């Protein structure tokens, strides 16, 4: 076990903290943060996985991370819009 | 250097724990943003500078601004107290045990990953000369696996449409965030260099770290800065040109992919002589759509307008 | 020439949606062309695939193991066919239901073709990471569509849907990362041979991928986001969500289980999935029986009906394979008919409390007929498509000696009869105190007859199963 990468531990920890947060937190904004923690853990894991080619890092997982970040941020931004709407239901327009 | 890695990893874990267990929502959000920045730093250490750039600009920067903006909108009474520690209840304890088990398995699985190199990645590096760009990640995103990137533009667009459906109508002319350290004159001063950096990043994506996403995010950041200082405001009407620019990336990508089929025989394949200019064209149109989508996700409006003096 | 078909199936609806977006106002008739053309493309694809060879398109031309391929085999083509047929009906139904003037109409006619293209992309994908992107596309097209019923009413449901969907896809992505670490490719066709067995990472990756998909597919412990979202959406959208969107997740499960994940899955995992499916059947049906609102009855029925498809995994014989997939088709058509019919009742009543249904048989005879006929297939009575599917599943349970699944099949059918007849009984009861309710306009012919046409098709599926099952073929890879 001596050679275990600290970042592998961090990636696993981020995913686990995120899942834990999703399960125990009730506020949707906290749940959204927890989901993003899971996402960050997955991205970190992908970057670790990319380090195995002899000539430079593997670009395929890197591309997956870049795509994943943009998807995660767009979906999170949509989630934040929903949370803002949920927090102030009284004024209703655009229905 | 191992020590630095260890400290970084430890800080990441502490911040993740803080993000979940912080008593106040604001503390959780701040922990998340700092975590994003440290993650970017870790990625520099892990030979992924372009991803670090993207994470800092999009994952920590823009998302951070969005999170704080949302936090400001929440009524104080609506933020109920959380009991997120494992000893607070049965559900918490079970989730903690489950999380721990998962973490151990994931760490072991990441530790034992097979030693032989990935076939797909090797192929990508071997064919880099034919891809029209020198940067391997850009080559994968815009050429080898361009289809994923195209669909991703669809995700971005639909997230924006969704956010606009739930928006509350805003009083036109109201600034988005009145309290800020930036003054309009300072923002005017910063604007040209930020725009230049953004455009350079898009352009540089072909050879070095950078690309449409990072550059687009920086351009969006310039817009956010203008919006924060009140030089730019959200408008409730959108125009044909604006919608056209939002869809530009996907449309240029698809059109190039379809029109060249008779030449190349494959959808989304690019002929040898044209590949570099096509890559640049696609990269800039993607960056424009990305920047505008992210900016509108920030303002939460279908349109934009200059502020009236 | 045939390689162009899968590509067109993705990009024609996608470009139509983008064009609609840029245009800035609704053009409902253009979508009729798109859904018609889409059906034509699928029929052409059907002919190409009927020979037994899949149609494959290599996007970018970089070949294996790097490029993304689109692939249409029997299973994918059947799902595309279901999608295309429902798209034609739902696009017609949506003309009167959404109209063309309001801003929400523009949003619907923009998002719907994008969702259609996304579903086609998902069914055609042969790449693990591309599947992640298509899953997100489908989700982010579906949730804004739910909101079109009015943000105030649906924001809670939409938010919960989004949170679960995001978590599900990231768990799926974690599995994909671990699998890529071992196999070095994302191509579904290459993965079984490239995946080493005997490590911890392999089964963990498979477990993460399957869990992520189960969350997206609203299978029992993860079903809690579904009823409010499917029950709260506009009727046309509910039909799309219940008939197609959640089914896309189950489709992925079938595809990956018999393909890319085949070396990693175990008999115990199959039994566990079967158990989840059987519990979903019983729990969902029971909940459907207890609801007091019509659309929630239909939504909980979806929770139950998805469970039947999971019975393939413990049995894994040809009859179970055919039964599960055929159940997917039959339920898709019948559930779309149920939701459209329920939408018609709602349109007339202005609300969907079951109590309000008393004595509406006269003005809404056609829609009630549709509801009843679709109900026949949901209950699994002959000669409907639902019957064929359940018969196949029953055969499989006898073949494999796993008789206990029979109990779930029978109990699910009885409970389904319970909740369908409960609705119909109320509708045909003469109302004692006439009309406190606010009777709205009677839904037009287009709305009534699209629902009926789908309901008739759900019955008819029982009579035309032979060619469709032929097209599906046996379990890929021969099964275990």
| pLDDT higher than 90, residue C320 | yes
Question: Which chain A residues are closer than 8 Å to C176 by Cβ?
Answer: 64
- Contact between chains at A22 and C167 (C-beta distance less than 8 A): yes
Nearest by Cα to A70 from B293, B288, C117: B293
- Contact between chains at B96 and A20 (C-beta distance less than 8 A): yes
Chain B contact for C194, CB < 8 A?
A: yes
- Contact between chains at A79 and C171 (C-beta distance less than 8 A): no
- Contact between chains at A42 and C173 (C-beta distance less than 8 A): yes
Q: How far is B1 from chain C (nearest CA, A)?
A: 25
Assign B149 a pLDDT band (cuts: 50, 70, 90).
very high
Chain C contact for B47, CB < 8 A?
A: no
Give the residue from chain A lying closest to B32, CA to CA. A33
In this structure, the dihedral spanned by the alpha carbons of residues C162, A64, C221 and C204, taken in order and rounded to 10 degrees, is: -170
Rounded distance, CA A32 to CA C163, Å?
Answer: 7
Rounded distance, CA C2 to CA B50, Å?
Answer: 39
- Between residues B183 and C446, which one has the greater pLDDT? C446
SS3 of residue C422 by DSSP: helix
- Contact between chains at A28 and C167 (C-beta distance less than 8 A): no
Nearest by Cα to A21 from B145, C213, B83: B83
β-pair type (B303-306, C55-59): unpaired
- Contact between chains at C147 and B243 (C-beta distance less than 8 A): no
Domain ranges of chain A: 6-38+46-87
Question: Which chain B residues are closer than 8 Å to C117 by Cβ?
Answer: 154
Q: Tell me which residue in C68, C114, C184 faces B148 most closely, judged by beta carbons.
A: C68
Q: Which two tokens stand for residue C63?
A: 């070949």
Question: Which chain A residues are closer than 8 Å to B202 by Cβ?
Answer: none
Chain C contact for B263, CB < 8 A?
A: no
Rounded distance, CA C310 to CA C321, Å?
Answer: 10
Condensed to tens digits (0 to 9), the pLDDT of residues B150-166 reads 999 999 999 999 999 88
- Residues of A (11-50) whose Cβ lies below 8 Å from C: 15, 19, 22, 28, 31-32, 35, 38-39, 41-42, 45-46, 49
- Contact between chains at B117 and A94 (C-beta distance less than 8 A): no
Count of all residues that appear for chain B in the document? 309
What does the pLDDT average to over C396-417? 94
- Between residues A94 and A23, which one has the greater pLDDT? A23
Question: Which chain C residues are closer than 8 Å to A53 by Cβ?
Answer: none
Chain B contact for A68, CB < 8 A?
A: no
Chain B contact for C14, CB < 8 A?
A: yes
User: What phi, psi does C439 have (nearest 5°)?
Assistant: -80, 120
Assign C68 a pLDDT band (cuts: 50, 70, 90).
very high
Chain B contact for A4, CB < 8 A?
A: yes
- Residues of B (12-31) whose Cβ lies below 8 Å from C: none
Chain B contact for C184, CB < 8 A?
A: yes
**Most confident region among B193-207, C344-358, C461-475 by mean pLDDT:** C461-475
Q: Tell me which residue in B110, B119, B165 faces C148 most closely, judged by beta carbons.
A: B165
Percent above pLDDT 90 for chain A = 71
- Contact between chains at A79 and C159 (C-beta distance less than 8 A): yes
- Contact between chains at A38 and C174 (C-beta distance less than 8 A): yes
pLDDT at B260: 86
Which 8-state DSSP code applies to residue C68? E
What does the pLDDT average to over C72-95? 96
Q: How far is C392 from chain A (nearest CA, A)?
A: 39
Q: Are C392 and C319 in contact (CB under 8 A)?
A: yes
Nearest by Cα to C78 from C414, C321, C420, C320: C321
Condensed to tens digits (0 to 9), the pLDDT of residues B168-203 reads 765 444 445 555 567 788 888 888 999 999 998 988
Give the residue from chain A lying closest to B103, CA to CA. A12
What does pLDDT average to over chain B? 86
Question: Which chain C residues are closer than 8 Å to A22 by Cβ?
Answer: 163, 167
Rounded distance, CA C63 to CA B126, Å?
Answer: 13
- Contact between chains at C177 and A42 (C-beta distance less than 8 A): yes
Question: Which chain C residues are closer than 8 Å to B151 by Cβ?
Answer: 118, 121, 130, 133-134, 137
What does the pLDDT average to over B215-241? 87
Question: Which chain A residues are closer than 8 Å to B297 by Cβ?
Answer: 74, 77-78, 81
Condensed to tens digits (0 to 9), the pLDDT of residues C99-134 reads 767 788 999 999 999 999 999 999 999 999 999 999
Condensed to tens digits (0 to 9), the pLDDT of residues C188-231 reads 999 988 888 888 889 999 999 999 999 999 998 899 999 999 99
Query: Chains that contact B by 3+ CB pairs under 8 Å?
Result: A, C
3-state secondary structure chain B: CHHHHHHHHHHHHHHHHHHHHCCCHHHHHHHHHHHHHHHHHHHHHCCCHHHHHHHHHHHHHHHHHHHHHHHHHCCHHHCCCCCCCHHHCHHHHHHHHHHHHHHHHHHHHHHCCCCCCCHHHHHHHHCHHHCCCCCHHHHHHHHHCHHHHHHHHHHHHHHHHHHHHCCCCCCCCCCCCCCCCCCHHHHHHHHHHHHHHHHHHHHHCCCCCCCHHHHHHHHHHHHHHHHHCCCEEEECCCCHHHHHHHHHHHHHHHHHHHHCHHHHCCCCCCCHHHHHHHHHHHHHHHHHHHHHHHHHHHHCCCEEEECCC
Rounded distance, CA C450 to CA C109, Å?
Answer: 18
Give the residue from chain C lying closest to B142, CA to CA. C60
């Amino acid at each position: 076990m001596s050679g275990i990468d600290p970042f592998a531990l961090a990636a696993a920890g981020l995913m686990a903290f995120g899942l834990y947060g999703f399960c125990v937190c009730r506020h949707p904004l906290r749940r959204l943060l927890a989901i993003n923690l899971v996402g960050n853990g997955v991205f970190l894991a992908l970057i670790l996985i990319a380090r195995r080619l002899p000539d430079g890092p593997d670009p395929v997982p890197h591309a997956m991370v870049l795509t994943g970040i943009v998807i995660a941020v767009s979906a999170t931004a949509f989630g934040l819009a929903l949370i803002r709407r949920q927090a102030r239901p009284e004024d209703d327009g655009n229905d | 250097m191992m020590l630095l890695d260890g400290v970084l990893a430890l800080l990441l874990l502490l911040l993740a724990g803080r993000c979940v267990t912080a008593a106040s929502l604001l503390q959780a959000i701040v922990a998340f943003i700092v975590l994003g920045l440290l993650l970017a730093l870790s990625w520099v250490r892990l030979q992924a500078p372009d991803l670090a750039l993207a994470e800092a600009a999009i994952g920590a920067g823009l998302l951070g601004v969005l999170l704080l903006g949302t936090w400001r909108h929440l009524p104080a009474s609506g933020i109920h107290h959380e009991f997120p520690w494992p000893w607070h209840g049965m559900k918490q304890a079970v989730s903690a045990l489950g999380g721990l088990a998962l973490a151990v398995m994931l760490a072991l699985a990441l530790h034992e990953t097979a030693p032989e190199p990935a076939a797909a990645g090797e192929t990508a590096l071997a064919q880099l000369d034919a891809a029209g760009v020198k940067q391997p990640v850009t080559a994968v995103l815009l050429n080898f696996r361009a289809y994923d990137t195209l669909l991703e533009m669809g995700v971005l667009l639909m997230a924006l449409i969704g956010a606009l459906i739930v928006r509350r109508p805003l009083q036109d002319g109201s600034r988005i965030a009145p309290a800020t350290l930036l003054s309009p004159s300072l923002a005017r001063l910063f604007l040209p260099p930020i725009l230049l950096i953004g455009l350079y990043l898009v352009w540089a994506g072909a050879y070095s770290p950078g690309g449409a996403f990072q550059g687009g995010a920086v351009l969006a950041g310039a817009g956010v800065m203008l919006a924060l200082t009140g030089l730019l405001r959200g408008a409730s009407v959108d125009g044909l040109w604006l919608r056209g620019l939002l869809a530009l990336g996907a449309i240029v990508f698809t059109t190039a992919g379809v029109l060249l089929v008779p030449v190349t025989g494959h959808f989304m394949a690019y002929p040898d002589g044209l590949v570099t200019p096509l890559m640049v064209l696609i990269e800039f149109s993607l960056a424009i759509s990305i920047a505008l989508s992210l900016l509108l996700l920030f303002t939460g409006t279908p349109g934009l307008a200059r502020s009236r003096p | 020439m045939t390689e162009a078909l899968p590509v067109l199936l993705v990009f024609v609806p996608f470009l139509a949606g983008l064009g609609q977006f840029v245009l800035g106002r609704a053009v409902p008739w253009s979508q009729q062309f798109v859904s018609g053309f889409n059906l034509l493309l699928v029929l052409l694809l059907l002919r190409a695939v009927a020979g037994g060879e899949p149609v494959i398109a290599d996007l970018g031309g970089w070949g294996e193991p790097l490029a993304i391929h689109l692939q249409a085999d029997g299973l994918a083509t059947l799902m595309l066919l279901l999608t295309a047929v429902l798209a034609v009906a739902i696009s017609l139904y949506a003309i009167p239901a959404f109209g063309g003037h309001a801003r929400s109409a523009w949003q619907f006619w923009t998002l719907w073709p994008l969702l259609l293209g996304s579903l086609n992309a998902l069914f055609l994908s042969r790449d693990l990471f591309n599947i992640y992107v298509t899953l997100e596309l489908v989700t982010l097209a579906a949730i804004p569509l739910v909101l079109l019923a009015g943000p105030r009413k649906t924001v809670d449901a939409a938010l919960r849907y989004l949170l679960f969907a995001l978590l599900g896809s990231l768990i799926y992505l974690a599995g994909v990362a671990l699998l890529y670490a071992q196999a070095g490719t994302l191509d579904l066709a290459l993965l079984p041979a490239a995946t080493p067995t005997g490590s911890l990472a392999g089964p963990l990756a498979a477990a993460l991928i399957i869990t992520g998909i189960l969350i997206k597919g609203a299978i029992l412990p993860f079903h809690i986001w579904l009823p409010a979202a499917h029950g709260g959406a506009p009727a046309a959208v509910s039909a799309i969500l219940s008939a197609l969107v959640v089914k896309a997740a189950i489709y992925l499960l079938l595809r990956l289980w018999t393909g890319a994940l085949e070396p990693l899955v175990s008999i115990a995992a199959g039994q566990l999935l079967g158990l989840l499916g059987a519990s979903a059947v019983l729990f969902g049906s029971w909940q459907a029986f207890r609801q007091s609102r019509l659309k929630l009855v239909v939504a909980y029925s979806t929770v139950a009906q998805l469970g039947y498809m999971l019975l393939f995994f413990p049995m894994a014989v040809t009859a179970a394979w055919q039964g599960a997939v055929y159940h997917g088709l039959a339920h898709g058509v019948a559930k779309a008919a149920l939701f459209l019919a329920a939408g018609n009742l709602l349109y007339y009543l202005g609300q969907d409390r079951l109590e309000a249904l008393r004595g509406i048989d006269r003005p809404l005879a056609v829609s009630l007929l549709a509801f009843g006929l679709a109900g026949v297939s949901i209950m699994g009575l002959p000669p409907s498509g639902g019957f064929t599917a359940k018969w196949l599943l029953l055969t499989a349970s006898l073949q494999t000696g796993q008789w206990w699944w029979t109990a779930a099949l029978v109990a699910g059918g009885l409970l389904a009869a319970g909740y369908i007849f409960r609705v119909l009984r109320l509708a045909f009861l003469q109302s004692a105190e006439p009309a406190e309710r606010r009777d709205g306009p009677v839904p037009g012919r287009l709305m009534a007859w699209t629902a009926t046409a789908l309901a008739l098709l759900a019955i008819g599926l029982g009579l035309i199963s032979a060619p469709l099952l032929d097209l599906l073929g046996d379990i890929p890879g021969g099964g275990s």
